Amino acid sequence: MSSSRILHLIKKSRTDMSAFMELTSKLGDIPTKNLLDYVELCHYHLRKPVDGTLSKGVNEGPVWIAASLAGISGITSDMILIEGPLGQRIRKCWPDIVRWAKAITLKNPVPALFGSFCDALGSIFNMILIVSESLLDKSDVYDLAIDLWKGREISGTDCHTELPLLGCLTTPSGQDLETLLRRTGYDGKQIVKKSVDRLKIALASTPIEHQKIIASVSLLGSFVESSLDSVSTAVLLSEAPTVMSSSLARLVKDEADFRLRKNTVMALLRFLNGYIQDGPFNVEELMMHGFLYNCLETASVHPGDDDDDDLSGSCIKEMLPSLAYHDTLWAVADGFGEIFEDGHSVTNLLKKAHANFLSAWGTFQALLLEQILLSCLFERGYERERGACANQSCRKLADRRVFKKCAGCGFTLYCSESCQKQNWSHHRKDCKKVDEDNESEYKESSNQFPRKVATAQINRYWSDILVLAKKNNVPEETLGIRVDYSEYPFKIGVFDSLPFTSSDTNAGYVDEGNDPSRSNRSYYPMVAKEALRRTQDGQRCIMLVVIQFDGRELPSLAYLEDATSLSPSSGVLTIDSHYVDESGNRLYPREDDALAEALKEARTRLKNDVDGFWADQEFYDVADEVLGG
DSSP codes of every residue in 10-74: HHHTTT-HHHHHHHHHTGGGS-HHHHHHHHHHHHHHHTS-HHHHHTS-GGGTHHHHHHHHHHHHT
- Torsion angle in degrees (nearest 10) through CA of 211, 213, 214, 215: 90
Task: Select from 175, 205, 240 the last residue of a domain.
Answer: 175
468 or 505, which is more confident: 468
Same-domain pairing of 416 and 513: no
Distance CA 205, CA 607 (A): 43
User: What pLDDT score was predicted for residue 439?
Assistant: 62
User: What pLDDT score was predicted for residue 567?
Assistant: 46
- Backbone torsion region of residue 513, taken as left when φ is above 0, otherwise alpha when ψ lies between -120 and 50, otherwise beta: left
Same-domain pairing of 415 and 493: no
Tell me which H or E stretch contains 314. helix 311-318
* 578 DSSP 8-state letter: -
- Whether 416 has a pLDDT exceeding 80, the answer reads yes
* Residue of 260, 355, 251, 344 lying closest to 303 (CA atoms): 355
In a domain, 212, yes or no: no
- Whether 302 has a pLDDT exceeding 80, the answer reads no
pLDDT mean over 360-366: 97
In a domain, 110, yes or no: yes
Asked if residue 192 lies in contact with residue 220, where contact means CB atoms within 8 angstroms, the answer is yes
In a domain, 349, yes or no: no
Same-domain pairing of 8 and 110: yes
DSSP H helical ranges for 319-434:
326-341, 346-351, 355-379, 417-433
- Among the ranges given (277-291, 391-405, 438-452, 594-608), the one the predictor scored with the smallest mean pLDDT: 438-452
Task: Select from 175, 195, 220 the last residue of a domain.
Answer: 175
What's the pLDDT tens digit per position in 246-258? 999 999 999 989 8
Same-domain pairing of 465 and 589: yes
- Whether 266 has a pLDDT exceeding 60, the answer reads yes
Starting at the edge strand that comes first in sequence, how are the strands of the sheet with 541-547 ordered? Answer: 553-559, 541-547, 479-484, 490-496, 579-580
pLDDT mean over 108-115: 90
Same-domain pairing of 394 and 463: no
In a domain, 106, yes or no: yes
Q: Please return the burial class of 376, using the count of CB atoms within 10 Å of its CB with bins 0-12, 13-18 and 19+.
A: buried
Tell me which H or E stretch contains 191. helix 188-204
Same-domain pairing of 590 and 504: yes
- Print the domain residue range for 70: 1-175
Asked if residue 100 lies in contact with residue 49, where contact means CB atoms within 8 angstroms, the answer is no
Roughly what angle, to the nearest 10 degrees, separates helices 524-536 and 417-433?
Answer: 130
Same-domain pairing of 415 and 545: no
In a domain, 380, yes or no: no
pLDDT mean over 596-600: 95
In a domain, 101, yes or no: yes
pLDDT mean over 97-119: 93
pLDDT mean over 565-594: 78
Cα separation values, 519 from 274, 325, 452, 555, Å: 24, 19, 19, 9
Average pLDDT, the chain: 90
In a domain, 85, yes or no: yes
Please provide the DSSP assignment of 244-262 as one string.
HHHHHHHHHT--S-HHHHH
- Domains held by the chain: number: 3
pLDDT mean over 36-49: 95
Neighbours of 195 (CB within 10 A): 24
Highest mean pLDDT among 399-413, 429-443, 500-514, 560-574: 399-413
* Residue of 287, 374, 283, 309 lying closest to 595 (CA atoms): 374
- Whether 563 has a pLDDT exceeding 60, the answer reads no
Same-domain pairing of 405 and 499: no
Neighbours of 392 (CB within 10 A): 13
Bond from prior residue into 207 cis (ω within 30 degrees of 0): yes
265 or 176, which is more confident: 265
pLDDT mean over 559-568: 62
User: What pLDDT score was predicted for residue 12?
Assistant: 96
Cα separation values, 575 from 325, 597, 626, Å: 22, 9, 16
User: What pLDDT score was predicted for residue 562?
Assistant: 67
39 or 407, which is more confident: 39
Same-domain pairing of 479 and 401: no
Cα 519 to chain centroid distance, Å, stands at: 23
User: What pLDDT score was predicted for residue 624?
Assistant: 96
Reported as half-sphere exposure (CB side, CA atoms, 13 A), residue 70 has a value of 17
Same-domain pairing of 423 and 537: no
The percentage of the chain sitting over the pLDDT mark of 90, rounded to a whole number, equals 74
Task: Select from 433, 458, 490 the last residue of a domain.
Answer: 433
How does residue 592 score in pLDDT terms, banded at 50, 70 and 90? Answer: confident
User: What pLDDT score was predicted for residue 516?
Assistant: 35
139 or 516, which is more confident: 139
User: What pLDDT score was predicted for residue 503?
Assistant: 60
> What's at 6, amino acid-wise?
I
Same-domain pairing of 411 and 544: no
In a domain, 571, yes or no: yes
Same-domain pairing of 495 and 532: yes
What's the pLDDT tens digit per position in 368-386? 999 999 999 999 999 888 9
- Whether 572 has a pLDDT exceeding 60, the answer reads no
